[in-house]
Chains A and B, each alone.
Chain A
């Protein structure tokens, strides 16, 4: 779902999507591959995100992903999303600790 993203001080952007076949949440790495851990995501500056996002959206079908958009993160390793929503996407539902998602590989 697209929402306008504001980038504050000490924040960057990463790209995310869901995998078409199974819905798994994925993050775009430096080589343009979609990876299931946020730790693999390439952190982008606000100026650069537009182009990368456009390219990723064009390639979405080929890459087997759906709903590509950008997420504001704190510039740490692994990146930590700014909003609760994206933190839940990155870490898994808070009500099922057994489904927690790894954030680094």
Chain B
């Protein structure tokens, strides 16, 4: 088997481990079914294998390490959707995929099928170090300094089965980026890592701790500015150890590392980590250049070559076809290599369900990945799909094919690119439904030219305070709240996940669903009326504050 582009090639150790794990879980499922395990005993075991019990059925969350898969793996998702689910899957903001209609008795078979393409559902739930997320443009973006996926893979290997970190006080999320433009929301993670090249040719890491969303949104603080590569694992180990030892276990709402960092203060936390490092056997944790290079060698590098006139070809096509031009403007990103471009496939058709894809779409995406991007696909933290290495002169053909399967919405980064959690239609914890309001907003602003006119504007929707839809980080955030059994939405403005990370502020009283949609439409209208030339929604908000928007939103007719 040839080495896949974009992700690590499993070795026998990885495969043996998966096989053993599936055998163990199959046993546990059998014991649950025959009654020798109670639900209370079984729940933590199934969660360790990504299996939830949701409103209507079991839900299986499959890990996509650093968001990268190959076409075979995508076809496996299509197979699972067709054979074990209701013909679709849901891509999440943590770059994973969820299937909503899973049967407990079939789960071992699903895991066996997944293992044939080196995939599993471990580290997608429970109080462990969760699947590590990364930049969806890794290894392709023109603005990238270091491809973070090699180190993301090292973190996967370090964290999977780490005996010390299997029962942390609470879930633990790590994101890593190698670009100065933060596309991973590094400061909203328990640990956020920004990689850059060091003077000696090896990688250096800036590390943030204690960020998070949920009911207590907190922006992560810098704990170390320049951790050398060889100290990366020791440093992370020490950070997690301090948390494991001192994080609260008495109160689930205060158990995340962010609460501990707040309680101690970042300086005291750093001192505790340094004290831990001082007594660790650093040699044991040393990440040597040889180790890094060996992992690197298990990633294939795409052989990029494009004709001289590729850029010209693309420009010509854009001139000829305004619809294509609009899509190129919103749905592509500059590639590091001349003649290439990064294409983002929107999973947000107007009026559709954000992040959902049918098995037919998954199969088609796998084919297109083979045809246009070395068989590699990435899932974005905004619930879209990236083809990372497309030749510019072939982009038009790709777009034409995407149109055939309803995957050519031109809305990336625009108001139609809505992020929404599953909400009350699926989730047992929800207060309100997130999807219907997303669909109404998506339909309201569906027109591609209108979206282009409105410009950069993110809407994020969560069905409850757990904030799986990142509403705190949305330029416009919507939070579902329960008012005497009815669904209401609280609007926040001004959140952002990127470099100047900030948490949105509440605009006013929560509104029912339809009123919320109308309020947002008025608010966007007001923005279009008062913006200065070249201003984005956030620029106008920064300049004028939220008063004009509040007035528009709560204006009664």
Which residues of A come within 8 Å of B, CB atoms? 1, 18, 20-25, 61-62, 66-67, 82-85, 88-89, 92-96, 99
Chain A nearest CB from B356 CB (Å) reads: 9
A93 to B426, CA, bound (A): 7
Tell me, rounded to whole Å, the shortest Cβ–Cβ distance linking B124 to chain A: 18
| A23 touching B104, Cβ below 8 Å | yes
**A18-B53, A84-B424, A85-B424 given; A23·B58 CB < 8 A:** yes
Q: How far is the CB of B487 from chain A (nearest CB, A)?
A: 6
Instruction: Report whether B33 and A20 are in contact in the complex, using a CB–CB cutoff of 8 Å.
Output: yes
Contacts of B267 in A (CB 8 A): none
On whether the beta carbons of A83 and B485 are closer than 8 Å, the reply is yes
Contact of B436 with A by CB under 8 A = yes
Chain A residue nearest in CB terms to B485: A83
Closest 3 CB pairs of A and B: A23-B57, A93-B425, A22-B103
Given contacts A66-B39, A88-B424, A96-B86, could you give 11 more A-B pairs where the C-beta distance is less than 8 Å? A20-B32, A20-B104, A21-B103, A21-B105, A23-B56, A23-B58, A24-B56, A24-B57, A25-B55, A93-B55, A93-B426
Interface of A is mostly: loop
Instruction: Determine whether B38 belongs to the interface, using a CB cutoff of 8 Å to chain A.
Output: yes
Output the least CB separation between A51 and chain B (Å).
Answer: 22
The answer to whether the Cβ of B187 comes within 8 Å of any Cβ in the partner chain is no
How far is A94 from B353 in the complex, measured between Cα atoms in Å? 12
CA distance A25 to B55 in the complex (A): 8
- Residue contacts A-B, CB under 8 angstroms, 13 given: A18-B53, A22-B104, A23-B102, A25-B55, A82-B485, A83-B485, A84-B485, A84-B487, A88-B425, A88-B433, A89-B55, A93-B426, A94-B436
- A20 CB to closest chain B CB (Å) equals 7
A92→B433 CA distance, assembly (Å): 13
In chain B between 10 and 42, which residues have their CB closer than 8 angstroms to a CB of chain A? 32-33, 35, 38-39
Interface size of B by CB at 8 A reads 32
Inside 8 A of B429's CB, which chain A residues have their CB? 1
Nearest A residue to B438 by beta-carbon distance? A95
Which one of B101, B103, B353, B486 contacts A95 once the chains associate, using CB atoms below 8 Å? B353
Q: Which of B420-445 contact A (CB under 8 A)?
A: 424-426, 428-430, 432-433, 435-436, 439
Partner of B436, one of A23, A95, A99: A95
Alpha-carbon distance A18/B54, docked complex (angstroms): 9
- Give the chain B neighbours of A62 by CB distance below 8 A: 35
Bound complex: CA A18 to CA B104 (Å)? 11
Nearest B-chain residue to A99, judged by Cβ: B86
Most chain A CB within 10 A, of B424, B426, B435, is at B424
Question: A94 to B57, Cβ gap below 8 A?
Answer: no
CB neighbours (8 Å) of A84 from chain B are 424, 432-433, 485-487
- Cα A62 to Cα B35 with chains together (Å): 8
Q: A23-B58, A82-B485 are in contact. Are A61 and B38 (CB under 8 A)?
A: yes
Flag if B53 contacts A66 (CB, 8 Å): yes
Decide: A85 and B430 in contact? CB cutoff 8 A: yes
Give per-residue flags for B66-90: 1 if the beta carbon is below 8 A from chain A beta carbons, else 0. 0000000000000000000010000
Q: Which residues of A contact B54 (CB under 8 A)?
A: 23
| CB < 8 Å neighbour of B53 from A61, A67, A93 | A67
Q: Smallest distance from the beta carbon of B83 to chain A beta carbons, Å?
A: 14
Which listed residue (A20, A83, A92) contacts B56, Cβ 8 A? Answer: A92
CB distance from B427 to the nearest CB of A (A): 10
How far, in Å, is B358 (CB) from chain A's closest CB?
12
Alpha-carbon distance A20/B57, docked complex (angstroms)? 9
Decide if A23 touches B487 in the complex (CB within 8 Å). Answer: no
**Chain B nearest Cβ from A91, distance in angstroms:** 10
A82-B485, A84-B487, A88-B55 given; A95·B104 CB < 8 A: no
Say yes or no: A95 contacts B435, CB within 8 Å: yes
Contacts of B104 in A (CB 8 A): 20-23
Q: How far is the CA of A61 from the CA of B86 in the complex (A)?
A: 27
Provide the bound-state CA to CA distance between A22 and B84, in Å: 11
- By beta carbon, the residue of chain A nearest B52 is A23
Which of chain B's residues have a CB closer than 8 A to the CB of A20?
Answer: 32-33, 104
Of all chain B residues, which has the CB nearest A1?
Answer: B428
**Which residues from B are CB-within-8-Å of A22?**
57-58, 103-105
